[in-house]
Amino acid sequence: MASKRPEHTGPAELFYDETESSKYASNSHIVKIQTEMAERAIELLALPEDKVGYLLDLGCGSGISGDVISAHGHVWVGVDVSLPMLKINREDEEDPTKDLVLRDLGSGMPFRAGTFDGAISISAIQWLCHANSNDQNPRKRLHRFFQSLYACMGRGTRAIFQFYPENEQQSDLIMSQAMRAGFNGGLVVDFPNSTKAKKVYLVLMTGGVQQLPKALTDEQEVAARGQIENTGRRVFQTGKQKGKERIVKGSKAWIDAKRERAQKQGREVGNASKFSGRKRKDKW
């Protein structure tokens, strides 16, 4: 019998407790897949190459997709309902490229109008399609979420949602509430004829109607374009050239690289002593 989908077991804040969050963040297969999907989501955003984007990572979890955003040189805000997940994510406390917010997506986004240059979400939106109490209505929660997301996005920007639809009805529910909130767009299905490689992305656009990006149909196409880079969990590279030394999270070289990237992005960075790699007490 097929295994039960996680969103069927109850709310995400209970499912992703300390044990489950730790297992998720340390599973090499999950990290690899999530990283690949985050890379694809950023590609679908079609951001200007000469601009540092201010992005929103919805359902950011332990920071796998956020690591990819940082590796592309962008600044981001992560939102998640699981405190244990955010605590793992916060291990990169000295990372100046991110901020984290503890919040249920279904309660709406608390950001100012026109704040973000784009948004991505990996394996999260389907959680809003389930009611975990009598006072929860999936349709209303989805609409509240998309309406508030639309408001905090800059015009002409995109939001990319990778998700695993249970059926056509669930996809229709998600898309209908997104369109009702003001978005244009549709589904981009990569490798539609493959059981394992098939991935579904909801591409939402603000502003006028635009043509949807082209779906990938050949896995060799991905390798040929160099889409998937080595941006694995907590491991970064000093450069894009092959043979460069890897920088391990927490090392002095890692901290220096973070600091240098922040300076290039024009962010205010304090003395080098501030980036000591020390751990601090929890803020939550």
The CATH number that domain 6-209+216-266 falls under is: 3.40.50.150
> Looking at residue 257, what is its pLDDT?
63
Question: 79 CB contacts (<8 Å, ≥6 apart)?
Answer: 56, 57, 58, 59, 60, 100, 101, 103, 105, 109
Query: pLDDT at residue 177 above 70?
Result: yes
Identify the residue with better confidence: 46 or 9: 46
Least confident range of 86-95, 97-106, 129-138, 227-236: 227-236
Entry pTM: 0.77
Confidence band for 253, pLDDT divided at 50, 70 and 90: low
Query: pLDDT at residue 40 above 90?
Result: yes
Identify the residue with better confidence: 177 or 218: 177
Contact between residue 265 and residue 97 where contact means Cβ atoms under 8 Å apart: yes
> Looking at residue 225, what is its pLDDT?
53
Confidence band for 263, pLDDT divided at 50, 70 and 90: low
Least confident range of 13-27, 228-242, 258-272: 228-242
Q: What is the DSSP string of 84-101?
A: HHHHHHGGGTT-TTEEEE
> Looking at residue 236, what is its pLDDT?
35
Identify the residue with better confidence: 279 or 183: 183
> Looking at residue 227, what is its pLDDT?
46
* Mean pLDDT confidence for 22-49: 94
> Looking at residue 229, what is its pLDDT?
46
Q: How far apart are CA 103 and CA 266, in angstroms?
A: 29
* Mean pLDDT confidence for 109-136: 91
Q: E strands within the chain?
A: 54-58, 75-80, 98-102, 118-122, 158-163, 184-190, 199-205, 235-237, 246-248
Bridge partners (DSSP) of residue 99 are 77
Cα atoms found within 13 Å of the Cα of residue 57, Cβ hemisphere only: 32
Tokens of 261: 């990237």
Mean per-residue pLDDT of the chain: 82
Confidence band for 91, pLDDT divided at 50, 70 and 90: confident
Confidence band for 219, pLDDT divided at 50, 70 and 90: low
Confidence band for 246, pLDDT divided at 50, 70 and 90: very low
